[in-house]
Structure 1
Amino acid sequence: MNARVETDEQGRKTAVDSCEEPCSIEKGMRILGGKWTGSILWHLKDGPVRFNDLARMVGGASKRMVSTRLKHLESHNLIEREVIETRPLGVEYSITPLGTTALGFLDELRDWYESLPEKAQT
């Protein structure tokens, strides 16, 4: 990930041996970097949650946005969707073993943010 930088005769800097685009960080951010995505995974860590309950937990996101993010996470096998045969029908989401692998650095991200000086927090 660390590219070497060389300077030419005119003083221009050029990256040498840079990572191919997109690099692993960019690819990972494409999966987890969407707004509400980390929050949704975080709320599923303690067990399955029904859609309406999850939408309420993710304050500020519309149900449509939550649904979009859930489909995205499901397409990457980070969560599972289960239809519950009740009246009315219900849908419940749970985190997969692959999804739980993201919880460690989401926890670290939370700790990092909470350690920032108040001026840096938005």
Structure 2
Amino acid sequence: MNEPLCPAYSVLRLLSGKWKPAILYHLREGSLRFGDLRRSLPGVSQKMLTAQLRELEADGVVVRSVMACVPPRVDYALSSLGLALLPLLQQMDDFVQENREFFPSEEG
């Protein structure tokens, strides 16, 4: 396996996907059920959210827990790797805030 041209590519691969940073943002406070997570992300389809969560789980960023109850309950939470990414996401947010003139709002 070849080394990436820049070590940051490995982290960017974990975060690549329109909804992944937003998913991590919403899970920072604790675990959420799928429906709660979907309601907190207006505009994401069920199919897309499922795909993004599966990728995050496969990469070890998110942990999926199935509770044995009726109806079955599925919770998602950040793994230790996901928690380790939070300071990086905060730095990215700080960067955007400090350089707002280069990042026009998507709201209008």
* Shorter-chain TM-score above 0.5: yes
The aligned length equals: 103
Say whether 1:109 aligns with 2:92: yes
> Larger relative CO (CA 8 A, sep 6+): 1 or 2?
2
Equivalent residue number for residue 16 of structure 1: none
Question: Which structure has greater strand proportion?
Answer: 1
Question: Which structure has greater helix proportion?
Answer: 2
Question: In the alignment, residue 83 of structure 1 is paired with which amino acid?
Answer: V
TM-score by length of 2: 0.83
Structure 2: give runs of 5+ residues left out of the alignment.
none
Equivalent residue number for residue 84 of structure 1: 67
Equivalent residue number for residue 47 of structure 2: 64
RMSD: 1.7
Question: In the alignment, residue 95 of structure 2 is paired with which amino acid?
Answer: W
TM-fit CA distance, 1:87: 2.2
TM-fit CA distance, 1:22: 4.5
Equivalent residue number for residue 80 of structure 2: 97
TM-score by length of 1: 0.75
